[in-house]
């Protein structure tokens, strides 16, 4: 399951950002997850809950914002948003389309708890 390696990289990124910002804990991790990213949300959530236990993310909630697929049709010029994995233009039924959004997984927000002595 490749969600494990994705979560490992996500947690490493979170740990580095926490270190860079002198934080001792992460309480919330928000990501944008495209429906064409190849990542299964339920498996990603399970992997996050498994791997966060020993580190700085141990009390963090994982919030996933599922990004619909946004395509542009090269034939009719229309943009459409799909909640399913479908690259056919809903206006003219062409498959001559390009994906504008919905393929990526991006870290959007971290909620950090900073070390007490540096808070002001």
Give domain limits for the chain: 3-113
| Known binding residues for Ni(2+) | 2
Length of the chain: 120
pTM score above 0.85: no
Percentage of the chain lying above the pLDDT 70 cut: 94
Condensed to tens digits (0 to 9), the pLDDT of residues 9-38 reads 999 999 999 999 999 999 999 999 999 999
Neighbours of 21 (CB within 10 A): 12
In the annotated binding site for Zn(2+), the residues are 73, 76, 89, 92
Identify which of 53, 29, 28, 37 has the alpha carbon closest to the alpha carbon of residue 3. 37
What is the pLDDT of the chain when averaged over all its residues? 92
pLDDT score at 116: 66
Annotated binding-site residues read 2, 73, 76, 89, 92
Say what percent of the chain tops pLDDT 90: 88
Top CATH class, 3-113: alpha beta
Q: Hey, is 66 helix, strand or coil?
A: strand
The pLDDT value given to residue 1? 57
Q: How many CA atoms lie within 13 A of 26 on its CB side?
A: 28
């Amino acid at each position: 399951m490749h969600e494990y390696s994705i979560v490992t990289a996500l947690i490493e990124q979170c740990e580095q950002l926490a270190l860079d910002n002198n934080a001792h804990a992460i309480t919330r991790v928000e990501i944008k997850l495209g429906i064409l990213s190849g990542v299964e949300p339920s498996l990603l959530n399970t992997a996050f809950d498994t791997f966060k236990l020993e580190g700085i993310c141990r009390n963090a909630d994982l919030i996933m914002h599922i990004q619909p697929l946004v395509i542009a049709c090269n034939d009719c010029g229309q943009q459409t948003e799909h909640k399913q994995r479908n690259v056919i233009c809903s206006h003219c039924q062409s498959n001559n389309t390009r994906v504008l959004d919905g393929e990526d997984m991006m870290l959007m927000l971290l909620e950090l708890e900073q070390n007490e002595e540096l808070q002001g």
